[in-house]
Amino acid sequence: MTKRRVVITGVGAITPLGNDVPSTWSNIKAGKSGVGPLTRLDTDLFAAKIAAEVKDFNIEEYIERKEARKMDRFTHYALAASIEAVKDSGLEITPEVGLRTGVWIGSGIGGMETYENQFKVFQEKGARRVSPFFVPMIIADMASGQVSIHFGAKAMNNCSVTACASGTNSIGDAFKVIQRGDADVMISGGAEAPITNMSVAGFISNTALSLNPEAQKASRPFDANRDGFVIGEGSGIVVLEEYEHAVGRGAKIYAEIVGYGSTGDAHHITAPAPEGEGAARAMAQALSDGGVSPEQVAYINAHGTSTPYNDLFETQAVKSVFGEHAYTLAMSSTKSMTGHLLGAAGGIEAIFTALAIKEGIMPPTINLENPDPECDLDYVANEAREASIDYAMSNSLGFGGHNASIVLKKVDA
């Protein structure tokens, strides 16, 4: 069976660097950090004092207050980013189009904020005072569900929950839905709102978070002085579309998705497999799926969390897959600027990868001041770089041993 081609025709984002794609991408190219003081929580409770928070966001600019009150914040972010992405695509989702339009949006932990707030209500006021919307607000699939309802998208409606790989798995799986002919359009990506008391406490307890008090410098992937990731929040959403469907309506095209790989480490609940063995298999699988040789890839948007093991093992995985070409290609971590958006990371990083291809600009890895000797590849240190990019890859790796990679391609005019 001939594989149908799949392209990105719309992008939308709510991030610590801006509440739309243009402002976020502008700040990424400028090497600006979205990390600042942790304002949403009582910092006296925590050793970590910083976070990459979304700023000046108002869901009532997108939907009515009555509807917004039935949703957790992670769903607010997903819906706002989806509205931008669909508008950007120029696609009118009529009832007829809606039958062939699906949604696949992932989230790592879903409505944690609602869970904590409602548990407090339960303790203080009793079971009868718990919101009737409690369960629909906390379940991770509800971002996808609410986006489907908002647009009347009636094809496959799904959600990948694979920790920090959720966004990339969702896009990869949505890509396959269109490729095999089950839909013509998919609204896909990730959403997360994890800056809550229990989430922050848990990540500190398992030593994953950076305790660096200097906000702008704390997220420093591949640097010898990295000490953990900076927790972030937001959403990144893409509109995927079958190529002929997009061309037929004169849509602009950011990039084509050509390959997807997804593997399991079968190793440890939080630590990646030694030498990035599972990540390497996901990358190799994505290349094979797209019929792309390692030498064709010019840029990789790394998972690059700024944790000691992840950055080292991802570097080793790239060397394993790309051989000598690993020292020729460029790889950067935009988490140095956005922080780690957990299940939303793959969504925004797919957007950055597509824009890197379309504009010929490789985003930088900021704060790379003292490179780890064992991380010895080209990480586009500190300043963005102009370069022609025909093929690029985006990687996401998650707790539980989840690995996901997608390969994107420039589409000729």
pLDDT tens figures, 174-198: 999 999 999 999 999 999 999 999 9
Structure tokens at 1: 């069976």
- pLDDT tens, position by position, 361-391: 999 999 999 999 999 999 999 999 999 999 9
164 catalytically annotated: yes
Reply yes or no on whether the pLDDT at 412 is more than 90.
Answer: no
pLDDT higher than 80, residue 257: yes
Q: Which CATH architecture has domain 260-409?
A: 3-Layer(aba) Sandwich (3.40)
Predicted local confidence at residue 413, as pLDDT: 40
The mean per-residue pLDDT over the stretch 302-313 comes to: 97
The residue from 164, 238, 280, 282 that is catalytic is 164
Spatial distance between the Cα atoms of 249 and 286, rounded to a whole number of angstroms:
29
> Above 70 in pLDDT, residue 226?
yes
pLDDT of 2 > 90? The answer is: no
Is residue 1 over pLDDT 70?
Answer: no
Q: State whether CATH 3.40.47.10 applies to domain 6-248.
A: yes
Q: Which residues contact 138 (CB under 8 A, 6 or more apart)?
A: 72, 110, 111, 112, 114, 115, 118
Question: Which amino acid makes up residue 105?
Answer: I
Q: Where in the chain is the domain with CATH 3.40.47.10?
A: 6-248, 260-409
More confidently predicted of 1 and 34:
34
CA dihedral 373, 375, 376, 381 (to 10 degrees): -110
d(CA 391, CA 410): 6
User: Token pair 């972030």 is at which residue?
Assistant: 232
Average pLDDT over residues 122-134: 97
Q: How many CB atoms lie under 10 A from the CB of residue 46? A: 18
Residue of 177, 188, 5 whose CA lies nearest to 100: 177
Q: Determine the Cα–Cα distance for residues 213 and 36; give it in Å rounded to an integer.
A: 10
